[in-house]
Amino acid sequence: MRDKLAWALELPVTRNAIMGVILFNAVLLGMETSDEIMAEAGPLILMLDKLCLAIFVAEIVAKLVAYRLSFFRSGWNIFDFAIVGISLVPGAQTLGVLRALRILRLLRVISVAPRLRRVVEGFITALPGMGSVFLLMGMIFYIGAVMATKLFGDAFPDWFGTLGLSAYSLFQVMTLESWSMGIVRPVMEVYPYAWAFFVPFIMVTTFAVVNLLVGLIVNSMQDAHHEEDTLKTDAYRDEVLSRLAAIEARLSGSEAAPEPGLQDESARKIAYDRP
C-alpha cells in the first residue's frame, strides 16, 4: 500500500496537478489584495483558498504515510511542511503578518519543478564560496567608507558624514543608481579629482567582485547539472547491464538444457543396450 502511494505521488501527473494548485492558489492570494474583487466574490475566493490548503495538507499527509520518517530526510519535504504549516497556525486568517506569509506557498513550485530545484541547489552550493567574496566586498566597502568619510565628509555630511552614511552612499554608487549625476558629479564640483576615487571603486566592486558572485553561482549550477547527468548515465548503464545479464542467463539456460529429440534418442539407446 505504501509503495503504491509513493509511486502515485511521484507520477508526473501528480506533480503537475500540485503545481497547478499552487499557481491557482497564488492567483487567489493576489485577488485577495483587491478590495473590489473581495467585495464581489470574497466568500468564494476564501472558500477556494481553503480548498487549496486542504489539498496541500492532504499531500503532506499522504507523503508522511508513504515515506514515514524518511519524509524528513529530504530538505524539500521539510520546506513544504513548513510552508503549509504556516497556514495552519491558529489566527492565520486574521493576523495580517500570517496572512501575508501565505503567499510563501508559491515557493512550493521550487520543490515541485526539477529545473527550479536545480537552480536553488546550485545557489546553495555556491554559498560557501560566496561567503569569501562577501568578506572581500566588506573589506573593500569598509576601506572605501573610511576614505570617503575623511575625504568628502566635511563638504557632504548628508552622504559621507559618518561611516554608515558613506557605506550606504558607496552601495548606491556600486549599484550604478544615479551614481554619476546624483553623487559623483556634485562631489567633483568641490573635489575635481574625486573621480580618481569613485571610478576605481566602481571597477573593483561592480565589474569585478559582483561578477565573481555571478561566476560562482553559474559554476555551481553547471556542476549540479553535470552531477545529475552523471547519475542518469549511471542509472542507464546499470539498466543496460542488468538486461544484458538477463539475456545471458536465458541463453545459458537454453544451451544447458538438451533438446527434446536428443533426450528421446538417448533413452531408446539406453533401453536397447540393457540385457
Report helix, strand or coil for 191: coil
Is 152 exposed, middle or buried (CB count within 10 Å of its CB: 0-12, 13-18, 19+)?
buried
The tens digit of pLDDT for each residue in 182-213 reads 899 999 999 999 999 999 999 999 888 888 88
The tens digit of pLDDT for each residue in 17-47 reads 988 998 898 898 888 888 898 888 889 988 9
Buried/exposed 155-171: b ≥16 CB within 10 Å, e otherwise: ebeebbbeeebbbebbe
Q: What pLDDT is recorded for position 270?
A: 45
Q: Which backbone phi and psi does 155 adopt, to 5 degrees?
A: -85, -25
The tens digit of pLDDT for each residue in 158-175 reads 999 999 999 999 999 998
All structural domains of the chain, each given as residue ranges with its CATH number in brackets, are: 2-112 (1.20.120.350), 114-275 (1.10.287.70)
pLDDT at 255 over 50: yes
CB 159 within 8 A of CB 152: yes
pLDDT at 252 over 90: no
Q: What pLDDT is recorded for position 233?
A: 81
pLDDT > 70 in the chain, percent = 85
Please tell me the distance from the alpha carbon of residue 148 to that of residue 169, in angstroms, as a whole number: 9
This prediction has a pTM of 0.58
pLDDT at 262 over 60: no
The chain-wide mean pLDDT, for the chain, equals 82
- 255 or 89: which leads in pLDDT: 89
The tens digit of pLDDT for each residue in 101-124 reads 777 778 788 777 777 877 787 778
pLDDT at 217 over 90: no
